[in-house]
Each structure stands twice: as structure tokens, then as C-alpha cells.
Structure 1
Amino acid sequence: MASISSLGIGSGLDLNGLLDQLNEAERGKLKPIERQIETQKVKISAYGELKGALSGFQAAADALNDASLFQSLSTSVAGTSLEAAAGRDAAIGQYAIEVERLATAGSLASGRLEVELDQALTDTDQTLTLHFGNATGESPQSIDIDIAAGSSLEDIRDAINGHDGSGVTASIVNDGEGYRLALMSSETGESASITDMTFSDGFFADGIGFSGAEGAGAITQVGQDAMLSVNGIPIVSASNQVEGAIQGVTLSLTEEGSSTLKVEQDTRAVREAVTGFVEAYNALKSTIGELTAFTGDTETAGDLLGDSAVRSIEGRLRSVLAGGIEAGEGGFSMLSDIGITLKLDGTLEIDEQRLDEVIVNDQDALSAFFAGDSSTGGLAGQLSETVTQLVGSNGALGGAISGAESRIENLNDRYLSMEQSIEATIARYRTQFGQLDGLIAQMNQTSDYLFQQFEMMNAQLGRN
């Protein structure tokens, strides 16, 4: 059978062009399926956009479905001597705080060593002992650090810094006449202050002079505890991060001076959460509006115009929002009770004055309204659960996405089956065209032969 590239050679007809036209006409049958597949893909993309907006709204609802939000406290400080943070155990109140002294870390610089930095200082393995704390009190704490034979001043510094729990940071200082081993306590306060360093016998190699520990050229600055008073009560702290002086409050001392601390309900966090909830719902409504819009002038339509899943989602959410919750005596049962109204266009609107009044004066009732006493006891929990159901495999949105995906799969199967049928039809045409081309070529050859014979007969009759 002749190939498609040789069609028409025998007959002189443009059979290749004719076969291409037939192929194009047959493949035109695939275009409706392609359009249907593209339509479903556009829908899935639109469903994904809607799902994202629902997730944003659910996150905003979940933020309100946390009772601890309505129990949180905030701090405000008048003055520059400290900063403060309140935890859940803090109590509302006002405190006058006087910072008399900040906590400092102790430091110790050894006597001067007139050596090179990389010069070996020890002949054998040695021990360096660091001493901490106020020597006039209980026995000072000490830490032993092993120093290898042949260690230089740099090696000693590195051994101290590499020792787990050494309690100090070591460095080398050049005072213009020689080097000093300088130690800074890792923590503030008297008890953590580095007070002395001693060396085991024969620590230094022969010929190396060292002016010794304290009293022989060493420079010591003892660390101090912070001193402050809260409402006139004196407090001593080893750290500038003071916990426990005021229950549930952490004080961060920054400088000496007076400050006034107020611990009060964190109305800002609650207001931001409620505002975020309203904004997230309105953003969801805006997304739905764009996906279902229709402009008569330009005859453009949203990708989900008339979609039943969208109508179901809107209806479910509106029902929960408008239905409210059962409230106890003095509680809130409807969004309108706290200053949030459902407008005719389906969006939410906040009465700022009413909402601020509720947040300032009745956070317990607000907590009961949004968070309730269980995961779905309040309005926020009910809305979050509704969204979970809607996007689930059996929900309106989850089912719509699954349905669109199934339709694409079926359409792909139809497309493949029809494409195979078209290929078989074109192959049949190609075979038939090849046979036609061969038949016409044979007829042309017979015609040429007969013509030659008639020409020969005419010539012979002419000679006779």
C-alpha cells in the first residue's frame, strides 16, 4: 500500500490535500468535547477560588471560636524604665514601679601576659578553675576546665568558650603592653558573677610570667542584682527579666526610673478578631458576586453563574448567620445584638459604637455568643463546622468539585475513543485513496498502450 506522501503520483490528483481536508473535517467532531472539558476546568478553577474564600472566612471564625481570646489582657506602661507583658494568670490592676538599679553581669580580666597569641603557655595538661558568686556568702560555685599541654592563650580562650556550661564568654584584650584573658559572665546578677580564676600548680611553662589573679594585676567588676519596688514593696532580681513580682506579668527592665503599669482587658485583640470576621465574610460575598456576575451590556458572565452549589453555600451560611444561638439570661443571641447587621445585599455591617460598648463592658457574654461552651456551642463554631461540611466530599462544594473532575475524566475517555475512531477512518481513507491512485495509474498505462497501438495501426495503413 502506498504511503500518504506518495498519493497522487499515479493519478496526478491532489489526494494528499483531499486527505488533509477529510482529516480536518473528522477532527472537527472533537471540538465540542474540547469545549466541554475546558468549561469543566474553568469551573474547577472557580470552585478553587471559592474554596479559598471559604477557608479565609473559616479562619476568621476559628479565631473567634477561642474563649481565651476574650480573657486575654494587655499592658500599657507610662514611663521608659520598663516594658511589660501579661499572661493568662495576670489580674487587672495598676502598679507604680520604681527601678533603682539594673542587673549587670560580672567581668574579670586576668593579669597581663607578655607573650605571643600562638605561643605555647603550658608544658603539661592543666586545670583552669573559674569561681562565681559572692565570696562573703555561701561557698562560691566553681567550674574546672581542662587545658591541654602546649595550649596558647588563644587555645585557652577557645577551651573556655567550648566548655558546655562554663558560665562565661572568654575573649583576649590587648591593653597596649600585653594580652589579658577577659571573661564576661553569661548571666546577670551577683550569684552568677565571675569573681576569680585560678590555675593548677605549674600551670605555665618555665619562663612565662603572669601577674596572677585578683590583687596581682587582675581587674574585676562584680555583677549586681536588679533592685526595684512595686507599689512600695522592695524586690531584688538577678535578671532584668523579672517574673513573679506581679502575678502573670513579666517585667523587662530597661533603665533606672519610675513607671506606671496598667493591666487591663485586651479590647484591641477582640475588636480586630470581630472586624476580621466581618471583613472575611464580606470578602467571601465579593468573591461569590464576581463568580456569578452577569453584565447585560457586554453579555459577560461569571464562571459559576447559575451554579446550584454556590446557591446552596450562600443559603447555608445565611441561615446560620441569621439564626443566631440560644442565649442565657443577659446574653446575646443575634449578631444585631452586638452591632453587626446583615444588609439586603447579603454583606455584614458593623455599628462601631455598639460593638465597642459590648467589647468594653460585656466580654463574657461576647465570648459565650461567639465561642460558647463547646467547639460548636457558639456562632463562630457553628459557622466553622458549616464550612467544613460544605467543602467536604459530601458537601455542596466538595461534591461540585468531584462532579466536575468526574465529568472531565469521562470526557477525556470520549475524546480518546473518538480520536481513535477518527484515526481508523483516516487510515481507511488513506488505503482507499492508495487503491484509487493505483487503479487510475493502471488505467492510464492501459490508455497509453492502446493509444500507441492505434498510432502504429494508423501508420501501417497509411503506408499501404
Structure 2
Amino acid sequence: MAGTTVSGIGSNIDTQAIVTSLVNAEKAPKQTQINTQSAKATTSLSSIGKIQAALDAFRGALTSMGADNSFSGLTSTSSDEKVATITTGNGASNGTYSLLVTQLASASKLSTRVFAGGASTVVNSGTSPTTLTISQSGKNYDLSIPAGATLQQVRESINSQFGTSGLSANILTDSTGSRLVLTSTTMGVGSDLTLSGNSGLNTGSTVIEAPKDAKYRIDGGAEMISKSNSIADAISGINIKLLSISPTAAGASAPTPTTISVTTSTPALKSGVKGFVDTYNALMKAINAETKVTKAADGTSIAATLTGDATMRSLVNSIRSELNALSGTGTMKSLAQFGISTSADTGLLTMDDKKWDKAVATNAADLSSIFTGSSGLLARMATATDSYAKASTGILAERTKSLSESLTDLQKQQDSLDERIAALQTSLTAKYTAMDGLVARLRAQSDSIMTTLNALNNQKDD
């Protein structure tokens, strides 16, 4: 039968089964140990990785919440978003302001002479490269133009080499031919573009538009000037983006100012706090999934991969300690006073809407100082988790490294065991094969002797 191995032909003993049993008996204890340790290390490595990812997301959210003024509860509006839009940042406070925009900041725009042959015109007809130097604000950008290069190729080279520096080039074509137009993202007076070099492209170049500063007034004050249309220092904590000059209504003698307002919004404040609660709970859920004991259908307890893990207990205790600590400069110094409590079973945060509404009605300003600042909850939680989250030297990173090294070592042990067992199987097979051959020879000798004796007995009987 195909696939069947016959052994012990000479001895009628299944030597292959004996060898297999002896080999398995030798291998089993060490193989069980390797399998158990490998499974534990693999699942632990996976669990640590999940918690590391959740912790990184939590810390990233803390940074974002600290940067976007989530806990000020402020909302900003512009009466004419075609003229200007506004956003609030750290240091913003309630206020209403009148904004009059008389001029937008603009960039320098420069044109080469017209090339009658269009974009495919060869601008370097020589045999060696030439240089076009684009200068702006005291800095030079040198572009090498190879022999035979066309106007289109010059445009592409400018965009690919100097695009990250804010320079850009386009080709405008009309009935007279094509011209190269250069501009920049840098705005404001003094940022003029100029051309020089030996490429000849600078010859006959003209200024299409000179750079300008933005000009505006706030609350009828003195005219203010900005090199950019994004203004961050005119009003504390308020960023203004200018989009167009203030319009003049039909029949009016003067432009109409735009009203920009910053007001406190309780829903916005609640949204910011709810964002923190959701972020915190996401981390706790990730930790619970890898540490909590669960119940099977028959009521037996099932331990998670990291149940009882000292590192996880320490991490959770560090975070909860900061959550429960008093902070801020207001009358209310804890989240519990705003109706935010911790579940004893899951460690998750919940918000009591009635208690929240009552507290925020009189003490909304206290929330900002609880969360923000160098001693606020966000900063303290970031500090408390820093030793765990560092990419290469953090506690979780070290655990990951140690588990990876353990798996590598276990693989080496597996390879060594496989080699030893293969050698043992070879040795035992050789020994039992030799034994089987010896038994076969002894049986052959016995049969021969018995045949001789029987023959002698038969002669006597005759």
C-alpha cells in the first residue's frame, strides 16, 4: 500500500513505532515548554502593542486639545466671511470688534518677454548650459538651463526645484506667443522677484504686479500693516484671515466694516470636555480588554493576557491619580464637581448632564484652568504617561523589545531541539535496524541448525 512503511521484517517487531515513541517521549517536555512560552510571549506582545497604540492616540489627543483651545468654550463669528474669517487660540477672550480691510497683501509677479514660438520655443540654443537666477528678499535661486531646453522645460524645472521655497512658474499663451510668469507665496513689500544670469530669459522681463502689504483697521484705530493676509497678533488669541477688501454698499460713501465676535458657548465647552471623556475612555477600554477577567458561559473565570500585570496597574494608577487631583485657579477644581465621575467597575468616565448644567452655569471659566496650563490636567497626564510611551526607551517599548527577544530565543531553542531530535531519530533508527538485522541472522542460523538436526533424525529413523 502506498505510504506504508514496513519495519522489523527480520524480527517481526515494529521498530519504527518504537523509535517514534522514544523520540516523542524525549521531545515532548521541551516542546511543550517552548510552545507554552511562545504562545504567552506572542499574545503578550500583541496586547502590549494594542495598548501602546491606544496610549499614543490618547497622548496625541491631549496635545491637540491643548493646542486648539478646546476648554475655553469660545466660539468665533464673522459678519462677512467673504472679507475675513477668524479662529480662536490660547489667550482669547470674549469681545466684539470692527474690522475694515482696505488692502490685501499680495505677492510679486514677474513675466518674461513673449516667445513667438510658444511653449516649445528653445530658450537655450547653445551647446552648454546657461543660468537663470531668481532673486527674492536677498536670496538667490540658481536654475541651470541645459542646451536645447524649451520654455516649457524651464517652467517644469522651476516648479520641481523651487516649489518648496514658495516659487512657482506658469506659461501664458495668446495670439502673440507664450511668456513665462513667475510668482511666489511670499507676500508683502520688499519681496520683489528679479531675474538675472546669462540665460537671456531676464532680458525684457516686466513686473506684472508689485508685492503689497495688507492694510486694515480695527475698531477705527490707526491703520495696521501686515506682510501676510493671515494676522495673528492684532487681537490677543484671535487669528484673522483676510480674504477681500471691505465692500462699499450702493449709495454709501465709505466701506462697510466687518464685525468679528468671540463669545462663550456652553455647548462648545461641553463638546470639548466630552471629547476628553471619550478620549480617556478609549484608552481605558483598550487597557480593560487586555487586563480584565471575564466570565465564560458556564460561569468560570477567564483571565485576559495581561491580567494582574504590574505595568498595566501602574499605568492606570498614574492616570487616575492625575484625574482625581485638584487643579486650576477657580472655585471648582475637579471634574467631579462638574458631574464627571469614574465607574468603579470599568474605570470609564461618565457625565451627569444635570450636575454639569448646574455647575457650568456659574463656574464655566474654571474648566479652562483645570485642563490647561503647565499644571493643568492635560499637561499632568502627558507627563504621567511619558515614561510609558517613549518610542524606544519607554516602559512599553522595553517590554516589547524584551518579548521580541524572548521569541527570538525560543525560536533558537526550537531549532536546537529539532536538530537534536533529528539526530536522535537517526541514531535510534540505525540501532534498531541493526538489531533487526541481527535477529534476522540469528533466526536464519537457528533455522539452518534445526534443518540439519531434522535431517540427522530422519536418517536414524530410516
One-letter code aligned to 1:454: L
Equivalent of 1:96, from 81, 95, 98?
A: 98
So what's the TM-score if we normalise by structure 2? Answer: 0.62
- Is the aligned partner of 1:78 residue 2:79? yes
TM-score of the superposed pair, with normalisation by structure 1: 0.62
Q: What is the one-letter code of the residue matched to 1:330? A: T
Structure 2: 5+ residue runs without aligned partners?
248-256
> How far apart in 2 are the matches of 1:58 and 1:108?
47
Structure 2 Cα separation of the partners of residues 361 and 93 of structure 1: 19
Letter matched to residue 218 of structure 2: V
* Residue type of the alignment partner of 1:254: L
Measured after TM superposition, the shift of residue 275 of structure 1 is 2.7
Output the aligned Cα RMSD: 6.2
Deviations 1:36-92 (A, max 9, x none): 325523344334434544554555566677898757976421212122345556664
The equivalent residue for 2:448 is 449
Answering whether residue 243 of structure 2 is matched by residue 231 of structure 1, we say no
Question: What corresponds to 2:243 in structure 1?
Answer: 254
Cα separation, 1, equivalents of 2:75 and 2:452: 117
Partner of 2:345: 345
Distance 2:181 2:169 in 1: 5
Residue 442 of structure 1 and its aligned partner are, at CA, apart by 2.6
CA distance in 1, matches of 2:15, 2:149: 95
> Runs of 5+ in structure 1 lacking a partner?
133-140, 205-209
Structure 1 residues 229, 338: closer, same or farther in 2, change over 3 A?
same
- State the secondary structure of the residue aligned to 2:260: strand
Change (3 A) 1:310 1:161: closer
Distance in 2 of aligned mates of 1:96 and 1:189: 24
Quote the offset at 1:419 in angstroms: 7.3
Q: What residue identity is the alignment partner of 2:219? A: N
User: Secondary structure of the equivalent of 2:8?
Assistant: coil
Aligned partner letter, 1:98 = L
Shift in CA distance, 420/461, structure 1 to aligned 2, threshold 3 Å: same
Report 1:173-192 matches (<5 A): 175-176=174-175, 178-179=176-177, 181=179, 186=184
Q: CA deviation at 1:349?
A: 0.7
What code does the residue aligned with 2:281 have?
A: N
> Secondary structure, in 3 states, of the residue corresponding to 1:296?
coil
Residues in 2 aligned to 1:183 and 1:38: alpha-carbon distance in whole angstroms = 65
Counterpart-to-counterpart distance in 1, 2:168 and 2:93: 39
For these two proteins, the number of residue pairs brought into alignment is 425
Residue 303, structure 1, aligned to residue 291, structure 2 = no
Letter in 2 for 1:445: A
Partners of 1:99 and 1:227 within 8 A in 2: yes
Q: Deviations over 1:423-460 (max 9, x none)?
A: 78756754652453233123212123213323543565
* Pairwise CA distance, 1:292: 2.1
Between the aligned partners of 1:173 and 1:411, the Cα distance in structure 2 is 68
1:103–1:238 Cα contact (<8 Å) kept = yes
- Contact kept in structure 2, 1:278 and 1:349, CA below 8 Å: yes
Q: Which moved more, 1:108-117 or 1:27-36?
A: 108-117
Q: How far off is 1:342 after superposition?
A: 1.9
Which moves more between the two structures, 228-237 or 418-427? 418-427
Query: In structure 2, what residue type is equivalent to 1:232?
Result: G
Q: Distance in 1 between matches of 2:276 and 2:442?
A: 85
Q: Deviations over 1:322-349 (max 9, x none)?
A: 85337767241x3311221123434211
How far is the alpha carbon of 1:10 from its aligned partner?
Answer: 3.5
- Counterpart in the other structure of 1:336: 336
Q: Secondary structure at the match of 1:445?
A: helix
The residue type paired with residue 33 of structure 1 is: Q
For 1:292, the equivalent position in structure 2 comes to 293
1:46 maps onto 2:34 in alignment: no
Name which one, 1 or 2, has greater alpha-carbon Rg: 1
| Letter matched to residue 451 of structure 2 | Q
Q: Aligned in 2, Cα 1:97/1:322: closer, same or farther, shift over 3 Å?
A: closer
After TM superposition, list the pairs within 5 Å mapping 1:83-162 onto structure 2: 83-86=85-88, 88=90, 92-100=94-102, 102=104, 117-118=121-122, 154=151
1:372-394, Cα deviation, whole Å (9 max, x unpaired): 654xxx5555555554567899x
What secondary structure is seen at the aligned counterpart in 2 of 1:450?
helix
CA distance in 2, matches of 1:457, 1:417: 60
Following the alignment from structure 2 to structure 1, what is the Cα–Cα distance between the partners of residues 359 and 34?
A: 57
Query: CA contact under 8 A between 2:106 and 2:211: conserved in structure 1?
Result: yes
